[in-house]
A and B are shown apart, each in its own frame.
Chain A
Amino acid sequence: MMEATKQVVNQKRSWTTRLDAKKKRLESVKDLVNGLVIPTDRIVEAMEKLIRPGDRVVLEGNNQKQASFLSQALAQTNPKNLFDLHMIMSSISRPEHLDIFEQGIAKKVDFAYAGPQSLRMAQMLEDGKLTMGEIHTYIELYGRLFVDLIPSVALVAADKADRHGNLYTGPNTEETPTLVEAAAFRDGIVIVQVNELTDELPRVDIPGSWVDFIVVADEPYELEPLFTRDPRHITDIQILQAMMVIRGIYEKHGVQSLNHGIGYNTAAIELLLPTYAESLGLKGKICKHWTLNPHPTLIPAIESGWVDSVHCFGGEVGMEKYVAARRDVFFTGRDGSLRSNRTLSQMAGQYAVDLFIGSTLQIDRDGNSSTVTRGRLAGYGGAPNMGHDPGGRRHSTPAWLNMMTSEDPLARGKKLVVQVVETFQTGNKPVFVESLDAIDVKKDTGLAVAPVMIYGDDVTHVVTEEGIAYLYKTDSMEKRRQALAAVAGVTPVGLTHDSKKTDELRREGIIALPEDLQIRRTDAKRSLLAAKSVEEIVEWSGGLYEPPAKFRSW
């Protein structure tokens, strides 16, 4: 009886519906394409055939690299033919990323970051012009591509392709392999824009059997130099903070592997390694392994022999030759150029490094932080992946173990999550606030959770121009708030601090002022920076670093 039922069921059902549907779509463009190649001027037509209404479409774009030719083409499709698309985008960056919703081509969106379009996002959500899926961190979004957001179509960008569809993504490999994998291995359609079609690739980053179509773009994909910080803008206060971080955190806990944010305060740390940190005899003891984009400000440390390895999320415009010439340090291909991978570097930065340090715009009295602004919907990106203590971690490192504060036989370590801020932003806005704007944004936009960038219970240290709060050492919420208030200056949160408590907190080692770390405020001068300008970074690199025009002042 049982056998018979099984047979009937098996006979009735097709197990290749996805593949059949894909074949039909491929068939529909066979007169339009030349092998794998879609003619540049027929991309819109091809998209209207290869993509169907209601499809889940993953469109490549993050804070650096954009599949700009394909996004522009998608915006030119006819909403009568193509509508109700469910877009999945790491970053909503370009105007047409939202134009496709205004025009009715797309309806629902799942994303990680929308900073460059954050006002239009908020407006369109309010006006009902788009339906919100969820806001993710990068890793979460990539994860869901393999679970419940499996794409029907992937639209991605590569530098070069050959006639077989093999792709070269070079230094800017970023998330392309992840997006392609999610579509290619579940009978989705993969369309790749390339800057160039060529007979021989420098190396293969993505094999041709994962790719359905390539199209030569009318201009190279958009690429932003987002991780270049001109040392000219680094202030004495940021140098003071960098000195405190080096002594009071990196040296104290023996931090060997780490990720840095993109602020000037972390650029200052990078530029103090060959000078200040060197004078403390810390070379070889701290900052050896990095998950970090090729920051130009890391060049002096690399040249001075501080850095063993760097794995990158993406490339950085101008760093190509330098990276290729330092292959002991960076991940590079046979061709010599950088191989980045956002998914793997995010994962490494979440699970495998000792420390994350970055800046923020607001911190509440419990240490929760946020970068949102009222009336805007910006999302997260990758910072919350780095800026969080992954609870399931097992492997130990000296710094991780150093965060243990209990004698419990089951006690475990903690990732170091450090926030470095000045107590006031420009424009006299306090960073330490009673309540995060994120709570209002949640209310105004109907989000399921308040858009907190880093949760207070993950934060181990907060560094301001006043000193360091060692939050991981506090054993009660009250103590934690005292420690934060003690370094919060004259902000509303800082003013709640009873200055008599300061000495007690110092004695307990819960806060440290610069003098407790043997740092004289007057020593924090720009003369400590290993490079004080972009020109000096170029000099350190022996001319290998080629900064984009906007960073050249000479």
Chain B
Amino acid sequence: MKLAFLFPGQGSQKPGLLNELPACIAVENVLAAASETLNESIFNFHSKEALASTKAVQLSLLTAGVAAFKAFEAEGVKADFVAGHSIGAFSAAVAAGVIDFQDAVKIVELRGELMEQAYPEGYGMGVVLGMEAHKLQALVDYHFDEKYPVFMANQNAPDQITVSGALSGIQKVLDAAWKNDARCASLLNVSTPSHCPLLASVSDALTEALHDIPIHRPVIPYAGNRRARLLLDPVDIRLDLAESISSAVQWHDASTVLYEKGVRLFIEMPPGNVLSRLAAKAFPDARVLSVAENGFDDCQFIAKRERLK
């Protein structure tokens, strides 16, 4: 049975999240490496107050994902595939061996800073449930306005899609979605219009920064955010990491590719269970676990047992 590790993105954070990582040397090493690179304790980034900053959130998520991955590795649990949502893609790239963790910390620090600075106010994201992509796309096209642009963003499930852009544009789309029988349409509590062309400048800066660090061939195939392809060329993965922030994340397709490749056990790295819930709904006959809900010990026990099948 094939196993995939999933790395969550922004929205999964919670105060004190690093305290919930399994206690082992592999985890301690990752935490220490993060602190060393940042010249500051990584534990300064996961408090309730600190998590108000996008940069702190992203650094905490990156560290938690990689630390948990290393803990599994130390136990001898190896994944056949990895995929991460948005910032989680950086954790996945580290897990795949494409970029080094300390380089990832620097790049993610930059990513967080650039995102915070990009659109201080008047921009954000919304989510629409219970409406198919092509119908929502039609509403987005109809309400697009140069002054208050709005874009389709992440496709998390066939009926769970985010929109991104100027708040007034988003609001128009959400109102129209309600009128057109969406099950739910609401603003998200984020102030950055992520995963749309408004963040093209962040992608450009990341492209440059990523060119300055070494990249390696993945030892585990990586499912990309942008086109939901399984990527084996490190150059393609680097491009995916840079472009993801200004492109829609095709998460449903990316996880579907893993399923079609034979994955029947998905384990979501901490914190949270957003991705495992999506996977459980999309693939009813697959086994889906999250470290947050099932605990590290159960996850690694089941992974070892299922791998023998």
Where the two chains meet, the residues of A that have a C-beta atom closer than 8 Å to any C-beta of B are 94-95, 98, 116-120, 123, 127, 374-375, 427-429, 440
Q: How far is the CA of A69 from the CA of B40 in the complex (A)?
A: 54
Chain B residue, CB-CB nearest to A124: B229
Q: How far is the CA of A489 from the CA of B207 in the complex (A)?
A: 53
The answer to whether A117 and B130 have CB atoms under 8 Å apart is no
Contacting A at CB under 8 A, from B202-242, are 227-229
The answer to whether B159 and A427 have CB atoms under 8 Å apart is yes
CB-defined contacts of B158 to chain A, threshold 8 Å: 427
A436 CB to nearest B CB, Å = 13
Contacts A123-B228, A375-B253 given: A95-B134 contact, CB under 8 Å?
Answer: no
The answer to whether A120 and B159 have CB atoms under 8 Å apart is no
Chain B residue, CB-CB nearest to A98: B260
Supply 6 further A-B pairs (C-beta < 8 A) apart from A119-B228, A374-B132, A428-B181: A98-B260, A116-B260, A120-B257, A374-B133, A427-B130, A428-B130
Interface residues on B, range: 10 to 19
Contact among A95, A119, A428, A429 for B262, CB-based, below 8 A: A95
> Does B183 lie at the interface of the complex (its beta carbon under 8 Å from any beta carbon of A)?
yes
Chain B residue, CB-CB nearest to A373: B158
Q: How far is the CA of A428 from the CA of B158 in the complex (A)?
A: 12
The answer to whether A123 and B181 have CB atoms under 8 Å apart is no
Q: How far is the CA of A496 from the CA of B261 in the complex (A)?
A: 43
B280 CB to nearest A CB, Å = 15
Contact among B134, B181, B260 for A120, CB-based, below 8 A: B260
The answer to whether A119 and B130 have CB atoms under 8 Å apart is no
CB-defined contacts of B253 to chain A, threshold 8 Å: 119, 375
CB-defined contacts of B47 to chain A, threshold 8 Å: none
10 pairs, CB–CB < 8 Å, chain A vs chain B = A116-B260, A119-B253, A119-B260, A120-B257, A374-B133, A427-B158, A427-B159, A428-B130, A428-B183, A429-B132
The answer to whether A95 and B183 have CB atoms under 8 Å apart is no
Contacting A at CB under 8 A, from B104-152, are 130, 132-134
The answer to whether A123 and B134 have CB atoms under 8 Å apart is no
> Does B256 lie at the interface of the complex (its beta carbon under 8 Å from any beta carbon of A)?
yes
Q: How far is the CA of A429 from the CA of B257 in the complex (A)?
A: 24
Q: How far is the CA of A440 from the CA of B135 in the complex (A)?
A: 13
Chain B residue, CB-CB nearest to A94: B262
CB-defined contacts of A123 to chain B, threshold 8 Å: 227-229, 257
CB-defined contacts of B132 to chain A, threshold 8 Å: 374, 429
CB-defined contacts of A375 to chain B, threshold 8 Å: 253
Q: How far is the CA of A437 from the CA of B32 in the complex (A)?
A: 52
Chain A residue, CB-CB nearest to B133: A374
Interface residues as binary, B29-55 with A (CB distance below 8 Å gives 1, 0 otherwise): 000000000000000000000000000
CB-defined contacts of B229 to chain A, threshold 8 Å: 123, 127
The answer to whether B256 and A119 have CB atoms under 8 Å apart is yes
The answer to whether B260 and A117 have CB atoms under 8 Å apart is yes
Q: How far is the CA of A159 from the CA of B278 in the complex (A)?
A: 39
Most A CB contacts (10 A, CB to CB) among B132, B181, B183 go to B132
Chain A residue, CB-CB nearest to B182: A428
Contact among B133, B159, B183, B257 for A119, CB-based, below 8 A: B257
Chain A residue, CB-CB nearest to B263: A95
Q: How far is the CA of A275 from the CA of B133 in the complex (A)?
A: 44
Chain A residue, CB-CB nearest to B132: A429
Chain A residue, CB-CB nearest to B131: A428
CB-defined contacts of A427 to chain B, threshold 8 Å: 130, 158-159
Q: How far is the CA of A30 from the CA of B181 in the complex (A)?
A: 68
Q: How far is the CA of A425 from the CA of B130 in the complex (A)?
A: 12
A548 CB to nearest B CB, Å = 13
Interface residues as binary, B178-209 with A (CB distance below 8 Å gives 1, 0 otherwise): 00010100000000000000000000000000
Contact among A116, A119, A440 for B134, CB-based, below 8 A: A440
Q: How far is the CA of A553 from the CA of B159 in the complex (A)?
A: 31
CB-defined contacts of A374 to chain B, threshold 8 Å: 132-134
A222 CB to nearest B CB, Å = 11
A444 CB to nearest B CB, Å = 11
Q: How far is the CA of A120 from the CA of B257 in the complex (A)?
A: 6
CB-defined contacts of A118 to chain B, threshold 8 Å: 260
CB-defined contacts of B262 to chain A, threshold 8 Å: 94-95
Q: How far is the CA of A56 from the CA of B291 in the complex (A)?
A: 47
Q: How far is the CA of A139 from the CA of B227 in the complex (A)?
A: 35
Q: How far is the CA of A177 from the CA of B253 in the complex (A)?
A: 37
Q: How far is the CA of A427 from the CA of B257 in the complex (A)?
A: 22
Contacting A at CB under 8 A, from B228-287, are 228-229, 253, 256-257, 260-262
Chain A residue, CB-CB nearest to B229: A123
Nearest first, the 4 closest Cβ-Cβ pairs linking A and B are A95-B262, A95-B261, A119-B256, A120-B260
A315 CB to nearest B CB, Å = 21
A182 CB to nearest B CB, Å = 29
B223 CB to nearest A CB, Å = 11
Chain B residue, CB-CB nearest to A430: B181
Chain A residue, CB-CB nearest to B254: A119
Interface residues as binary, B273-307 with A (CB distance below 8 Å gives 1, 0 otherwise): 00000000000000000000000000000000000
Contacts A127-B229, A375-B253, A428-B183 given: A95-B130 contact, CB under 8 Å?
Answer: no
Q: How far is the CA of A117 from the CA of B253 in the complex (A)?
A: 12
A430 CB to nearest B CB, Å = 10
Q: How far is the CA of A202 from the CA of B257 in the complex (A)?
A: 41
Q: How far is the CA of A166 from the CA of B260 in the complex (A)?
A: 35
Q: How far is the CA of A119 from the CA of B251 in the complex (A)?
A: 13
CB-defined contacts of A127 to chain B, threshold 8 Å: 229
CB-defined contacts of B256 to chain A, threshold 8 Å: 119
Q: How far is the CA of A95 from the CA of B183 in the complex (A)?
A: 35
Chain B residue, CB-CB nearest to A374: B134
CB-defined contacts of B228 to chain A, threshold 8 Å: 119, 123
CB-defined contacts of A119 to chain B, threshold 8 Å: 228, 253, 256-257, 260
B34 CB to nearest A CB, Å = 35
Chain B residue, CB-CB nearest to A376: B256
CB-defined contacts of B181 to chain A, threshold 8 Å: 428
Q: How far is the CA of A98 from the CA of B261 in the complex (A)?
A: 9
Most A CB contacts (10 A, CB to CB) among B133, B183, B253 go to B253
Most A CB contacts (10 A, CB to CB) among B133, B183, B260, B262 go to B260
